[in-house]
Amino acid sequence: MTEKKEGSRADVYARITDRIVADLEKGVRPWVQPWSAGHAGRRITRPLRHNGEAYSGMNVLLLWSEALARGFTSPTWMTFKQAIELDAHVRKGESGATVIYASRFTRTETDASGGEIERDIPFLKTYSVFNVEQIAGLPDHFYRQPAPAIDPIQRIDHADRFFANTGSVIRHGGPRAFYAPSTDHIQMPPFETFRDAASYVAVLSHEHIHWTADPRRVGRDLSRYAKDRSERAREELVAEIGSALICADLGIVPELEPRPDHASYVESWLQVLHGDKRAVFQAAAHAQRAAAFLHGLQPAEAAEREAA
């Protein structure tokens, strides 16, 4: 890979990380922002592609943040070309939102002894998408308001089933929520001590992301969590983002008031992000894998994969 391409990729990491740092310095967590915006009474969801497929990983954070900053209520985004293919057009003067595409390709090279070797070359590129509220002429279904949120009791029942299907051991008692790797259990304060059921689910999803770190599941190294502040900050960033993904997938509005430990976490996240422009990308990727693992434990989703 040329030095220019490496520099370009580094610029992408730096530009997006700087944007997230700016939000954190204002006391705002980008992955929580949309829930406090004008979404009351609307269906909570991840950002969606034009074909209804949900975005994943880092792109969820980028588009949630963009939607909040610009007041978009529709979750659907598409490229300029996709709009044209639907006989629509982006309105004059509208600017797109940045999303990323990360992948890798294989290149054959000659080694020092003259033999051929294959190298996996990772690459990262950006492109622009537009919210459907910036586009005129789309089919009517793109402009329909999201369906109203389902009944709160049904919604929480659905969440209870989701976590029960994971097979995790959840114990209740005490004032703190945490995952204990030594005993492989999740500890939660009593349900009645939470402000509401949605807050309980938000914290429970956070702890389940930690739970996926076990080598028998997704596997993330937590051996230095208690000793290294930087490693703790990185894992908490994974859990924060992963919790937001799970809550969106379950249609649940996460807690709007920060937990007491969030102030110290924000400070440590800022230190990590200032020193490592790729940290939030890595955290988002880990969070996506953790969320996908939890979804993979759901019987209905497993059946759908087998059928496909």
Same domain, 141 and 233: no
Same domain, 135 and 154: no
**Domain-ending residue, one of 103, 127, 146:** 146
Same domain, 115 and 254: no
Q: Report the pLDDT value the prediction gives residue 131, as an integer from 0 to 100.
A: 96
Q: Report the pLDDT value the prediction gives residue 241, as an integer from 0 to 100.
A: 92
Q: Report the pLDDT value the prediction gives residue 124, as an integer from 0 to 100.
A: 78
Same domain, 69 and 195: no
Distances (CA, A) of 261 to 2, 225, 226, 280: 43, 15, 15, 19
Q: What is the tally of structural domains in the chain?
A: 2
Q: Which domain holds residue 196?
A: 150-308
Query: How, if at all, do strands 170-172 and 185-188 pair?
Result: parallel
166: closest CA among 306, 287, 298? Answer: 298
Same domain, 156 and 141: no
| Residue 167 falls in which region: left (phi positive, over 0), alpha (psi -120 to 50) or beta | left
Same domain, 13 and 129: yes
Separation of alpha carbons 47 and 182, rounded Å: 37
Same domain, 173 and 125: no
Instruction: Count CA atoms closer than 13 A to 117's CA, side-chain side.
Output: 9
Structure tokens given for 113: 């002894």
Cβ within 8 Å of residue 185, ≥6 positions away: 168, 169, 170, 171, 179
Q: Report the pLDDT value the prediction gives residue 155, as an integer from 0 to 100.
A: 63
Q: List the chain residues with pLDDT less than 50.
A: 1-7, 33-41
Same domain, 155 and 93: no
Neighbours of 93 (CB within 10 A): 6
Q: Report the pLDDT value the prediction gives residue 153, as an integer from 0 to 100.
A: 62
Same domain, 111 and 233: no
Q: Report the pLDDT value the prediction gives residue 35, as an integer from 0 to 100.
A: 46
